[in-house]
Amino acid sequence: MKHRIEPAGWNRQEHFAFFSQFDEPFFGLVADVDATRAYARARELGVSFFQLYLHATLSAVQTVENLRYRINEHNEVDCYDQINVSAILTRPDHTFAFSFIPYSTDLHEFGRGLAAEAAAVRHSSGLRLGPETGRPDVIHFSALPWLSFTGLTHARSFARPAVDSIPKISVGRLRPEGGRQLLPVSVNVHHGLADGYHVGLLLAELQRRLDG
């Protein structure tokens, strides 16, 4: 479900109009979260660390309204009640494909959707582009477990007419530091829809959920 954000009275209308004129309206940042407890809890629960932090990230997104805003084909803003995830999943041959995993408040139910998509990716080829992976009510999510990054950019097309307003969230490899396990998180969002304040809300909620 979704509802339209009416321009009249919207406190971001001028921000939206201003940044929507930019060739690159997205801004991004990278910050560490402490995943020490989450890493241990994943083992206790018998789930992968990837499943746990992906679910924690998606759960945190639900709590920040501005990250549920999407620009439609009429250049209007819709607010979705629920955001799902189109995550990049890999194959044994080191290629990747897009997926669609519906959100569930239950970690294990969410995991069943993740497992089904992981199996579908393994038994497919190409990018798996389609109506599901191309839905607007998602975040784009990727994991880079091979390295712990301090910066990250995304491939973007400025020539195509399709409106891009979907937040892009990526995580890197755990980095031990001072007895803790730090997880780098990159967040890129459309500046007409959200500011650094909203990214801060997301990261604070993600930290809370990782701590359990």
CA distance 5 to 47: 38
What is the extent of the structural domain holding 158? Answer: 2-211
Q: Is the pTM of this model over 0.85?
A: yes
CA distance 39 to 63: 23
Q: How many domains does the chain have?
A: 1
Q: Is the pLDDT of residue 162 over 60?
A: no
Q: How many CA atoms lie within 13 A of 106 on its CB side?
A: 4
159 band by pLDDT with thresholds 50, 70 and 90 = low
The mean of the pLDDT values for the chain is 96
Cβ atoms of residues 13 and 7 within 8 Å: yes
Residue range 104-118: mean pLDDT, rounded: 98
Question: Residue 35 maps to which CATH number?
Answer: 3.30.559.10
Burial class (CB in 10 A: 0-12, 13-18, 19+), 184: buried
Q: Is the pLDDT of residue 161 over 60?
A: no
Question: CA nearest 133: which of 89, 94, 173?
Answer: 89
CA distance 183 to 174: 5
